[in-house]
Structure 1
Amino acid sequence: MSDVFITRQPLVNRQSRIIALRLRLHGASGDAARMLNALADVWPQGERPVFVACPDADGRLLDWNIPANATLEFPGAAFCDARAGELLAALHRQRPSLCLDYDEQAGEALAAGLAFRFIAYDAKSQTVAQLKTLAAKMQPYGIGVALNVDSEKAFKATLEAGMTAAASWFFKHPTSAPAKTLNPGQAHIIRVLNLVRKNADLREIEAALKQDVALSYKLLRYINSAGFGLSCEIQSFRHAVTILGYGKLNKWLSLLLATASKASMAPALMHTALTRARLMELLGDGLVDSQEHDNLFITGAFSLLDALLGVSMEHALEAMHLPQPISDALLGEGGLYAPFLDLAAACEGNDREALAEQAGMLGISAERLNRAQLSALAFAEAMEF
C-alpha cells in the first residue's frame, strides 16, 4: 500500500463554529480505502459531518467501511468517465451520504438519480452573484457549502449568497491591526499561569483564582471533560493539584488563556489550536522525553495565540515565563518543538509532498501521522469550549 496522507479543512458557519470537517486524501482510492479501514478505531465520532474528498474518486473508495457521519465528496466529472457505471452501481447499492462538487458535469450527476446531502461550490471560480444564483437554483438538491474561501470578506460574501458554511483556514490570519495590550481577563490568566509555572504556594494560587470565579469554573470544566479521561471528578483546585500535580495543571491552565479571546472567530480558532496541541503531543511519543510532551501540547495550544488574543505573538509571550523551546517555536526561531509545529501546520495545507517531507524529517510514517491527526480531532471534539 502506497502512502496516503490526510490533510484537513474545517467548515465554518456564520456563528464562527466548525460544523463539519473536510478530510482530503492524497493517494489512490484503493489505498485510501484500506488506510481508512485501518483507522476505524480513531475515527471522530458524533453527529458532526466529516467530508472525505479523494482526488482519484472512483468506486474503489467504497471498499471502505464508511462511518455513519462520513460524507463522500465527488466531482460531477466522476459520474461521466469510463468508470462511472461501476461507481454509480456501488453508490446506489451502499447509499452513503454524498456531497457533489459542482462543476460542468453536475447536471449529469444529478440526472443519475443519486441523492446528494450537500452541494459544494468553488468560491474562487464563481462570483458572489453566481453563487447566489446557484444556491437558489440548487437548493432542492442539497445543502450549499463553499470551498476555497481565502479571506474573511469572501467568507461573509459566500454566506450572504446562501451558503450554509465555508471550508477554509482564513480565520488563522486576522486582517485587523493587533492591539497593544492584553485585556484584563487575559492578563489575569497569565498571572495565574506564571504562579503555577514557578510552583508558587497553593494558597497564593487559590487566592488568584478566586479573583475570577468564571476562571475556576472553566478550569474544572476542562479537567473534567471527556477529553481528559479522568476516572474521578475533580471538585476543587486543591483536588486538581493533588491528582494532577503542577506540571499537568499548567497544561490545562494554558487552554484558559485562549478562551479569554474576544475574537469573532474564537470557536474555530480554539478547535484548531486544541487539535494542534493534541496532535503535537501524540507525535512526540518516542521522539522526545516524556517530560517534553506537555510542552509540545502547550506549543500547539499557543500557536494561534496572536489571532486569539488580538495581539502580536511577541507581545503575547513577553509577559509569560515559557520554556525557551516553546517561545522559539512560536516565534519561528526553530528549536526542539518547531518541526512538530511545522508538521501540525502542514496537515492544514494541501501539499502532499511538503507534508510527506516534513513527516519524513521526524521519521513519522503516513499511517502514524494520519492516526495521530484523527485522534487529535476526536480529542478536540470531546472538549467543551
Structure 2
Amino acid sequence: MYFYAARQPIFNIENKPIGYEILFRNGPDNTFPGISADEATSRLVEGSQFYFALEELSNHKPAFINFTLKSLLLGYPFMFAPQHIVIEVIESTKPGKKLLDATKVLHKKGYLIALDNYCHQSTWRHFFPYIKYLKIDVTSTPWPEIQLIKKAIQPYQHIQLIAEKVETHQQLDKLKELGFEYFQGFYFAKPEMLKSQMFSASELSITKLLSETANEYIDVKKLTPIFERDVNLSYKLLRYANSAIFKRRTKISNIKQALVTLGSQELKKFLSLMFAAQISPNKPVELIKLSLTRARFCEQLALKAQNKKFVGPAFLTGMMSLIDAIHDDSMENIMGRLPLVDAIKQALVVKEGALAQLLLIVQSYEKADWQSAQQQCQALDINPDSLPQIYNDALSWCEEQMQVLACEI
C-alpha cells in the first residue's frame, strides 16, 4: 500500500517558494477524495508522522496544512514543531470562542496561523492579533471586497495576504498592485503528486521492538505494552514461546512471562522472523534469506570484534540492509520513517561508522572480493580466516529460521 499526498508551492513577489501547501490524496489521481475534512486532516497528519518526513513533504520549507476545528481541539498541530508548519484554518470553520481560544494557545506557543479562503466578517477581527496570513481565493473574491479586507487589516501590520488560485499573468500584475506579497495557483505550478510505500502499524511495532532488543539489556517493562497493543503479535509470541521446540513443562500464559523466559536471543529471532514475514509477502524468498543471513553474519562479526555494544545494532544493520529493495523505496526515505538508532541509519544511508564496516565485510564476502573483506577485517581487528566459518554458521542459522517461518508461527 502507498501513502499519497500532493504539494503546491507558495511564492513570494520575487518568484521564490516560501512554503508548500500539503494536500491529502488517497490514490494516484491528483484530486481531493470524497471524504470529510476531518478525515483528510487526520490521515494527512498520520501520513506525515509515519510515511513521509514532513520536511520531505514540504521540500524543507514550512508546510501549510489544513486543520479543522475538531483537529485543532484534539491538539494535532502539536505533533509538529512550530517552525515546520503553518496552520491553515479551513474556510468552513466559523469564528467562535472555541476556535479563538485554540488560536490564542497556538499563537502563544509560536505557531503561525493562516485563515484559508478568507471571506471577511467583522467577527474575525478578534482573531487578527494572532493571525499571520489571510489566504484569499482571487477567482471568487471581488476586487472591492479585497480592498475592504486590506482596510480591515491595516492596524495589523503583521498580517500578510496570500493570493490563491492565481491563473493568469494579468491577475498577478493586478494582485501586486493591490499589495499582495505571496501567490499560489496554476499560473505558477499545479499540485505535485508524492507517494510513499506505507509501513503498517504492526511493521512499525516490530521494528521498534527489534530496535529495543539491540540494547545490551532488555527492558521487559518497556517491551510489554508494545506487544500488548498488537493482538496478532501477542498471539504469535505466546504461540512461539509455547512451541514444541522449547519442550517446556509449564505453559507460558502472558506477555511478560514470555519475554523473560525467551530472553534476548530467542526474542530477537522471533521478531526477525515476524519482520521478514510481514515486510515482504510478495517479494522473492531469496531477499528474505539474504537479509536473515546478513543479520546473523554481522552479529557474529561484531562478537569477533569484541565490541558488545555493537552486537545488537549489527544484527539489525544486516537485517535492514536490503529494506530498500524489499520496500521499493530509497534507503534514506525508509530510514527517516523507522524507529532505529542513528548508528544504524548512518551505516545504511551514508555508509559510515563501525556498523558500515561490518556490513561491507559481509557484502565483500558475498561478492568474493577477498581483498576488500580482509582490509575491513584488519581495520576492526577481526581474523579474516574466521570468515568462512562465520558465513557457514549464518547460512545454517538462516535455514533454521526459514523452516520456522514456513510453519507460519
* TM-score, structure 2 normalization: 0.42
**TM-score of the two chains, using structure 1 as the length reference:** 0.44
Larger Rg: 2
Query: Which of structures 1 and 2 has the larger relative contact order (alpha carbons within 8 angstroms, sep 6+)?
Result: 1
